[in-house]
Amino acid sequence: MNPNKALWEKGDFTEIAAFMRQSGEAVIQSIPIAPPLRVLDLGCGDGTTAIPLARAGAEVTGIDIARNLVAAGNKRAEEAGLSRLKFQEGDACNLEGLAGHWFDMTISVFGAMFAPKPFDVAKEMVRVTKPGGRIVMGNWIPNDPTFVSQVLKISSAFTPPPPEGFVSPMTWGVESHIIERFGQAGVPHGPTMNAVEAAQKNGKAEELHTQLVELSNAQNTSKDAATFIPATFMRVAVSI
């Protein structure tokens, strides 16, 4: 099995996604949505961004490598009565089966940044987007002090060394890397579950849990029993 597929099908990411709904709403509110608009949501998960896009009137195709997240997304779309939204399996590094220059907008919020071949991802995003269309990304920023970036930093300390040739997904939060990747694609310039498994094998599960709880408590800004943790990310906008 594709190791990236195995990673994202490990555990139940929908429980984490439930805490990230506001990020999808925030990104969509920052983008003018004027139907008819055909949108590809790449690395869509169970619809954090795709569902508010569809509710705004766009025709949305969600692509994710994890079969369980695709199924969860289709279930959410059906329950919400969103007939112009569909989810299907696919690899951000190779969007075989998708026609070139088809989408008015390609969007990826905390999704395609985790695919293992970033230059292929940029190339595919450009390929499927119409001339005059837009590519929009929301990416976590390396070493940012807010919650998610710190979770990924803590997790990496408990994970075995990455394989040769590994490119950190956090490089999608660095402007120079973004410019280089889309430049090579022809545009002129204008995950935690592995850490848990490794920590359990090394007898460090309790240590990992403690660090993550301490981080969560430190960054929780809620004044009551709820959890509210702000997070900073890089918003990328590319004109094709």
pTM of the entire structure?
0.79
Quickly list DSSP for 28-43.
Answer: HHTS---SS-EEEEET
Query: Does residue 198 sit within a domain?
Result: no
CA distance 233 to 216: 17
Instruction: Find all residues with CB under 8 Å of 140, minimum gap 6, and list them.
Output: 110, 113, 148, 149, 152, 169, 170, 172, 173, 231, 233, 234
Instruction: Name the CA radius of gyration of the chain, rounded.
Output: 18
Quickly list DSSP for 91-115.
Answer: BTTB-TTSPTT-EEEEEEESSGGGS
Query: Does residue 218 sit within a domain?
Result: no
**The pLDDT value given to residue 196:** 66
**The pLDDT value given to residue 41:** 98
Query: Does residue 31 sit within a domain?
Result: yes
Query: Does residue 146 sit within a domain?
Result: no
**The pLDDT value given to residue 13:** 72
**The pLDDT value given to residue 194:** 58
User: How far does the chain reach from its first CA to its final CA, in angstroms?
Assistant: 34
CATH number of the domain that residue 108 is part of: 3.40.50.150
Q: Is 128 in contact with 157 (CB distance < 8 Å)? A: no
Domain count, the chain: 1
**The pLDDT value given to residue 87:** 98
**The pLDDT value given to residue 219:** 81
| pLDDT profile of the chain (240 residues), mean per 10 | 79 75 84 92 96 96 96 97 97 96 96 95 97 93 85 85 87 92 85 65 86 84 77 82
Domain span including residue 102: 3-141+167-190+223-239
